[in-house]
Amino acid sequence: MSTIPKKFDKFLAASSVSKNINHQPDSSKETPRNTPEKSYPFSDQIGNYQRNKGIPTKSYKDNKVYIIGSGIAGLSAAYYFIRDGHFTPENIHFIEQLAVEGGSLDGAGNAKDGYIIRGGREMDCTYENLWDMFQDIPALELPAPYSVLDEYRLVNDNDSNYSIARLIHNKGTVQDFSKFGLKKKDQLAIIKLLLKKKEELDDIKIEDYFSEAFLASNFWTFWRTMFAFENWHSLLEFKLYMHRFLHAIDGLNDLSSLVFPKYNQFDTFVTPLGRWLKEKGVTIQLNTLVEDLILDTSNENKSVTGIKATQNGQDIIIPIKDDDYVIVTTGSMTEDTSYGTNTTAPVLTIDNSNSGKSPGWQLWKNLAAKSPIFGKPEKFCSNINQSSWESVTLTCKPSAFVEKLKEYAVNDPYSGKTVTGGIITITDSNWLMSFTCNRQPHFPTQPDDILVIWVYSLFMDKEGNYTKKTMPMCTGNEILAELCYHLGIEEQLDNVIENTIVRTAFMPYITSMFMPRAKGDRPTVVPEGYTNLGLVGQFVETNNDVVFTMESSVRTARIAVYELLNLNKQVPDINPLQYDIRHLLKATKTLNDDQPFLGEALLRKVLKGSYFEHILPPNADHQEDHEKESFFVEQFGKFKEWVSHIKD
Tell me which residues are annotated as active site: 122, 241
Candidates 276, 279, 273; CA nearest to 103 is 273
Q: With contact defined as beta carbons under 8 Å apart, do 622 and 596 qualify?
A: yes
Pairing of strands 173-174, 424-426: unpaired
**Per DSSP, what are the bridge partners of residue 390?**
457, 506
- Pairing label, strands 92-95, 338-340: unpaired
CA separation (Å) from 395 to 152, 260, 443, 497, 524? 24, 20, 11, 11, 41
Tell me how far apart the terminal alpha carbons of the chain are, to the nearest angstrom: 78
Nearest to 23 by CA among 576, 560, 553: 560
510: amino acid identity, one letter? I
The answer for residues whose C-beta is within 8 angstroms of residue 76's C-beta and 6 or more apart is: 129, 133, 273, 536, 553, 554, 557, 558
CA distance 642 to 638: 6
Long-range pairs for 291-296: beta carbons < 8 A, 24 or more residues apart: 291/359, 291/362, 291/363, 291/366, 292/363, 292/366, 292/367, 293/326, 293/328, 293/363, 293/366, 293/367, 293/533, 294/320, 295/370
* CA quadruple 298, 300, 304, 308: dihedral sign: positive
Amino acid present at 234: S
Beta strand segments in 401-509, E: 424-426, 433-436, 451-457, 500-507
Residue type, 630: S
Asked if 59 contacts 48 with a C-beta cutoff of 8 angstroms, the reply is: no
Residues 63/87, Cβ–Cβ less than 8 Å = yes
Please name the residues in contact with 279: beta carbons below 8 A apart, sequence gap of 6 or more.
none
CB 460 within 8 A of CB 472: yes
**DSSP, res 455:** E
Buried b (16+ CB within 10 A) or exposed e, 211-222: eeebeebbbbbb
Q: For residues 333 and 515, is the Cβ–Cβ distance under 8 A?
A: no
Question: Residues 596, 624: contact at Cβ < 8 Å?
Answer: yes
In a 13 Å sphere around the CA of 484, the CA atoms on its Cβ side amount to 23
Residue at 33: amino acid letter: R
Identify which of 496, 497, 431 has the alpha carbon closest to the alpha carbon of residue 467. Answer: 431
